[in-house]
Structure 1
């Protein structure tokens, strides 16, 4: 269930996605929030340089592995504008991060890509829980998903 605190962080993730798009990257943004409510890391997509692994969720997983204890990681929440791709979901699972809350789902993104004439993703579009069966996830958020769709529409 997405509550008011979750929604506030999701709004920030969508703002980061817009920053990415404005910087000529794909519109994805994420943040890591620890159990005490502190935002520990914010990042956005950075694939325009040619390295398509520069996803914010992957960066968060790497940062968390270096800076948080296993307990802190498992109690943290990742907020993201779009549901993790399989690469990012695997990284999330491997480092033992906690809950994931997303504004838009990977299924929505696949549908929008078709509607908007965007190229298909080079990897399968699958739910996080297919990659990380024990993951705790919430999303999408209907209103914010429409904002994310509008960002993808601007890519065309």
Structure 2
């Protein structure tokens, strides 16, 4: 599916959250949960700098959705995220039964950049979301946001 202007608007909010995370000394990732009616229900950014590597925004969205939404509401919602879910976050998404995922930057792109910059590999495999959640509806990446995301992820 081609990304719509609405998709890009929510993805830009995710990039803003990623920038906020980076400005706070964290890794640049941000995510937004949107209802079927287009209402932002929950948003968050990475919070791993203090040592809890599970504090990804996509995982926090799954936790919030499990506590605050019915299964039908979760299935009809969309998760927008600056970077494609890692396997942990993809699994949480699948277990909670969230709907469509739209990402701005793919895991493959990020791995390629990090390798080119000589950065260490992640301790977790960079798998496509559908390798973890085969039935997931996934759209991305967003080429319109690639340069901005590259700048956020590039080491200083």
Distance in 1 separating the partners of 2:98 and 2:139:
14
Corresponding position of 2:23: 22
1:55-74 deviation line (CA, Å, top 9, x unaligned)? 00000000000000000000
Structure (1 or 2) with the greater helix fraction: 1
CA shift for structure 1 position 146 = 2.0
Identify unmatched segments of 5+ residues in structure 2: none
CA shift for structure 1 position 117 = 2.2
Q: 2:83 aligned with 1:82, yes or no?
A: yes
CA shift for structure 1 position 120 = 1.1
Corresponding position of 1:116: 117
Distance in 1 separating the partners of 2:104 and 2:147:
9
Matches within 5 A, 1:24-43: 24-43=25-44
Distance in 2 separating the partners of 1:117 and 1:152:
13
Matches within 5 A, 1:77-156: 77-153=78-154, 155-156=155-156
Q: Which runs of 4+ in 1 moved over 6 A?
A: none
CA shift for structure 1 position 40 = 0.4
Corresponding position of 1:12: 13
Say which SS state the counterpart of residue 48 (structure 1) adopts: coil
CA shift for structure 1 position 115 = 1.3
Say which SS state the counterpart of residue 49 (structure 2) adopts: helix
Say which SS state the counterpart of residue 59 (structure 2) adopts: helix
Distance in 2 separating the partners of 1:147 and 1:79:
16
1:51-94 deviation line (CA, Å, top 9, x unaligned)? 00100000000000000000000000000000000000000000
TM-score, structure 2 as length reference = 0.97
Distance in 2 separating the partners of 1:138 and 1:89:
14
Distance in 2 separating the partners of 1:68 and 1:117:
42
Distance in 2 separating the partners of 1:62 and 1:56:
10
